[in-house]
Amino acid sequence: MKIRIAAVLFVTGILLSFTTSCQKKKQSSITDEKPISKPNIVIIYTDDLGYGDISANGATEINTPNIDLLANEGVRFTNGYASSATCTPSRYALLTGVYPWKNERAKILPGTAPLIIGTDQMTIPRMLKGAGYHTGIVGKWHLGLGNGNVNWNETVKPGPNELGFDYSHIMAATQDRVPTVYIQDGDVVGLDPKDPIEVDYKNNFEGQPTGKDNPELLEMKWHHGHNSSIVNGIPRIGYMKGGETAKWSDIDMADHFLKEAQNYVRAHKEEPFFLYYAMQQPHVPRTPHPRFAGKSGMGPRGDVILEADWMVGEFLQTLREEGLLENTLIVFTSDNGPVLNDGYYDDAVEKLGMHTPAGPFRGGKYSLYEAGTHVPFITYWKGRIQPGISDALVCQIDLLSSIAKLVDSDVRAEDSKELADVFLGQSEEGREDLILEATTRTAYRNGDWVLIPPYKGTPVNKLVNIETGNSKKYQLFDLSKDLGQETNLASSRPDKLKEMIEMYESKRGDVNRKTEQLELK
């Protein structure tokens, strides 16, 4: 008996000392590492930047050294996606972790649209606020503001500040849409109360010139759309009156947002912060600052890509100077794929030369083909992320749950997969599948396979000269052999087609099958 007790005590002793030594080891390895709790989080979100628009992804005609630094010293994703091929739905999914096709209001919005995210909905900033973060947005919003009848001369809400952002300095929609003013925490910046702003998307205000009627006033010509109010010689979408002192300067917009982003970082460096830095480039109208104009040899589209890259470099420099680079996770990506002529004559087509904005992919902005959503995607965290290239399937919609995991928050969103290890480059196990959206249509990727269900409508959007992905027949592609989606395998692989349709419909419903049956009758 005594011997047995002694033996038990002996074994327990060994176990105890083993456990303590393990704990010690664990503790010491934690203290050896850089602090991992509460890193600052920055999402740099470009607008209409294509997979092939950065040299890190193989562009040879344009050089983006600062974005490349993030890519070369971070993880460069070769299968990173936006949720949609247009702006509003991608931004909706990014911030909420919910598929945009579940919200019928998540479509390209006019500048007067009401806020499309519920003020009780979970968002990245709300989740991070709950985890002790200060949260800010600088740049493009385009998710609607107010409740449907905004008075721009009073504090505009609900908006970002009602969704979890402690600070916001935004443009309401896009630079080609009115109102062409910055809005800080709900208030139009620089507004003279004696010159109130009025905005209307249907009717012009009496006596106001328009792009349509006053071509003599234009410094940039419109190609399609964009023929309403003229601001700074550029015709816009929508009508606006008043607010002269508040109107932005287009050529200074990039510098303006950079300064805001830098100031935000400096103001909040003592606490964990989240900054959503939503750059406006290379969306139309492309108005590079004079120090970038003509520098790319590709016209304004190339010039504003150089400008955006420079902004990234300056922003990184601020983090470096403030000693924050080693405690900040940066995600760099784009809201949708590239477009050349998006409504203005600006030489984007004429001066393109050998540049391929979509990289190896077919389609572009608005398209269900890969280039619509398959975008640049980089994660960077100095000293924490080992440089590498990841082929894992990831989507911006996954950032909410993944960032939550990273900061020890229990929040998860319904369509947002927790892929923190993948984003940190420690695992290649990304998503199994993903539903992609383009102008309310959806497609399905599973592994290397892509299914595009049949859709009515024109196969080519002639205004922007981009293939839409519409076809009367199912399209099936194997990206492992055919990145350019040239060979439709729907007829030669009926087994795979059936399997893909079943999986797609189980997640999306049979919306497309009904369409197809109508079409094929």
Does 86 sit near ligand NG6 (CB under 6 A)? yes
Cα separation, 112 vs 276, in Å, equals: 22
**Candidate segments 83-91, 95-103, 482-490, 511-519, binder of Ca ion by CB under 5 A:** 83-91
Of 434 and 464, the one with the shorter C-beta distance to ligand NG6 is 464
**Of 98, 139, 138, 90, whose CA–CA distance to 118 is shortest?**
98
Tell which positions 443-472 bind ligand NG6, by CB under 6 A. none
CB of 85 to ligand NG6, least distance (A): 8
Backbone angles phi, psi at 224, to 5 degrees: -150, 145
CA 308 to chain CA centroid, nearest Å? 14
Residue with tokens 């197809």: 516
Beta-ladder partners of 44: 277, 332
Tell me, residue by residue from 336 to 375, as one string, x for binding to Ca ion by CB under 5 A and - for no binding. x---------------------------------------
CA-to-CA dists, residue 121 to 53, 76, 243, 436, angstroms = 34, 31, 33, 22
DSSP, collapsed to helix, strand or coil, labels residue 504 as helix
**Candidate segments 153-161, 222-230, 292-300, 310-318, binder of ligand NG6 by CB under 6 A:** 222-230
Tell me, residue by residue from 120 to 159, as one string, x for binding to ligand NG6 by CB under 6 A and - for no binding. ----------------------x-----------------
CB of 343 to ligand NG6, least distance (A): 4
What would the two tokens of residue 39 be? 């890193």
* Antiparallel, parallel or unpaired: β 441-446 and 433-438: antiparallel
CB of 500 to Ca ion, least distance (A): 28
Residue 176 binds which entry of Ca ion, ligand NG6, none, CB below 5-8 Å type-dependent = ligand NG6
Does 169 sit near ligand NG6 (CB under 6 A)? no
Does 438 sit near ligand NG6 (CB under 6 A)? no
Does 279 sit near Ca ion (CB under 5 A)? no
Does 87 sit near Ca ion (CB under 5 A)? yes
Tell which positions 233-272 bind ligand NG6, by CB under 6 A. 237
DSSP, collapsed to helix, strand or coil, labels residue 487 as coil
CA 285 to chain CA centroid, nearest Å? 19
Does 173 sit near Ca ion (CB under 5 A)? no
Are the beta carbons of 41 and 274 closer than 8 angstroms? yes
Tell which positions 34-63 bind ligand NG6, by CB under 6 A. 47-48
Tell which positions 206-265 bind Ca ion, by CB under 5 A. none
Residue with tokens 């809201």: 335
What would the two tokens of residue 167 be? 């600070």
CB of 88 to Ca ion, least distance (A): 9
CB of 439 to Ca ion, least distance (A): 12
Does 135 sit near Ca ion (CB under 5 A)? no
Does 335 sit near Ca ion (CB under 5 A)? yes
Of 176 and 309, the one with the shorter C-beta distance to ligand NG6 is 176
Count the site residues for ligand NG6 by CB under 6 A.
17
Does 342 sit near ligand NG6 (CB under 6 A)? yes
- Which of 39, 41, 44, 47: binder of Ca ion (CB under 5 A)? 47
Does 284 sit near ligand NG6 (CB under 6 A)? yes
What would the two tokens of residue 168 be? 């916001």
Which residue type sits at 248? W
**Candidate segments 43-51, 340-348, 377-385, 458-466, binder of Ca ion by CB under 5 A:** 43-51
**Candidate segments 31-39, 142-150, 248-256, 332-340, binder of Ca ion by CB under 5 A:** 332-340
Does 343 sit near ligand NG6 (CB under 6 A)? yes
Residue nearest to ligand NG6 (CB): 225
Does 161 sit near ligand NG6 (CB under 6 A)? no
Cα separation, 286 vs 302, in Å, equals: 9
Cα separation, 364 vs 397, in Å, equals: 20
Of 235 and 242, the one with the shorter C-beta distance to ligand NG6 is 235
- The 8-class DSSP code of residue 309 comes to H
Does 437 sit near Ca ion (CB under 5 A)? no
DSSP, collapsed to helix, strand or coil, labels residue 17 as helix
Helix (H) / strand (E) containing 41? strand 40-46
DSSP, collapsed to helix, strand or coil, labels residue 281 as coil
Does 225 sit near ligand NG6 (CB under 6 A)? yes
Are the beta carbons of 258 and 279 closer than 8 angstroms? no
Of 281 and 328, the one with the shorter C-beta distance to ligand NG6 is 281
Beta carbons within 10 angstroms of residue 15's beta carbon: 10
Does 224 sit near ligand NG6 (CB under 6 A)? yes
Residue 174 binds which entry of Ca ion, ligand NG6, none, CB below 5-8 Å type-dependent = ligand NG6
**Of 238, 333, 327, whose CA–CA distance to 276 is shortest?**
333
Sequence-distant (≥ 6) Cβ neighbours of residue 106 within 8 angstroms? 84, 88, 89, 92, 93, 100, 116
Beta carbons within 10 angstroms of residue 428's beta carbon: 12
- The 8-class DSSP code of residue 363 comes to -
Backbone angles phi, psi at 93, to 5 degrees: -70, -40
Point out which residues bind Ca ion (CB under 5 A).
Answer: 47-48, 87, 335-336
Binding residues for ligand NG6 (CB under 6 A):
47-48, 86-87, 108, 142, 174, 176, 224-226, 237, 283-284, 336, 342-343
